[in-house]
Homo-oligomer: A and B are copies of this chain.
Amino acid sequence: MKALKDRIIADGVAIGTEIVKVDSFLNHQIDVALLDEIGQEFAKRFQGIEVSKILTVEASGIAIACTTAKYFGNIPVLFAKKASPNTMTEGFYSAKVKSFTKGTVSDVRVSKKFLVPGDRVLILDDFLAHGEAAFGMAELVRQANAELVGIGAVIEKQFQGGGKRLREKGFLVESLAVIESIQDGKINFLI
């Protein structure tokens, strides 16, 4: 997605070899016009696939999911909540998600009421890095006996391997910008 890559080049900040900050337009301050284009692009990428619900995880995925849902005919969005493990889990599906950046493990949870057998779920998130969040959400879908029909990421950091692992599991993964490497402050795109 050209507009997105151009924006990452213009306003993304490379830190070391692993991190690209996009907090000026995607996950702290949000450019809602770009967000709308992102939603349209996801709808195009998953065209022809029946989706009944979009699943994401708080907080950065919410804006992306809600904007994309419009282009799938206003289907519901469900955002998983992050919580420290070992708190109340009744009435929830729950999966553990490791954060490589923060060095923490948290639970992601969704109410059993809102993820049900028969749901055809599209998972969306801002980043696809090691794939931990996506695998966690896929696990929620599995627990609910719903069907996972696709996974979309705004930015995939290919060198962290999450996309590869998800595709090897047979999941359909679409990323709008794929970063091959980050070196010397430069962000190198695969596509």
Q: How far is the CA of A70 from the CA of B35 in the complex (A)?
A: 10
CB contacts (< 8 Å) of A65 on chain B: these are 30
Contact in complex: A66, B111 (CB < 8 Å): no
Point out the residue from B24, B63, B75, B111 that lies within 8 Å of A62, measured CB to CB. Answer: B63
CB contacts (< 8 Å) of A76 on chain B: these are 29-32
Of A2-10, A77-85, A146-154, the segment with at least 4 beta carbons within 8 Å of chain B is: A77-85
Could you tell me the dominant secondary structure of chain A's interface residues? mixed
- CB of A113 within 8 Å of the partner chain: yes
- 10 pairs across A/B with beta carbons < 8 Å? A23-B114, A28-B81, A28-B114, A30-B69, A30-B79, A32-B66, A59-B62, A62-B62, A63-B63, A63-B77
Encoded as 1 (CB less than 8 Å from any B CB) or 0, chain A from 95 to 130 comes to: 000000000000000110110000000000000000
Q: Report A10 CB to chain B, min CB distance, Å.
A: 15
Which 7 pairs, one residue from A and one from B, show the smallest C-beta to C-beta distance?
A58-B59, A59-B59, A30-B77, A29-B114, A33-B74, A63-B66, A32-B69
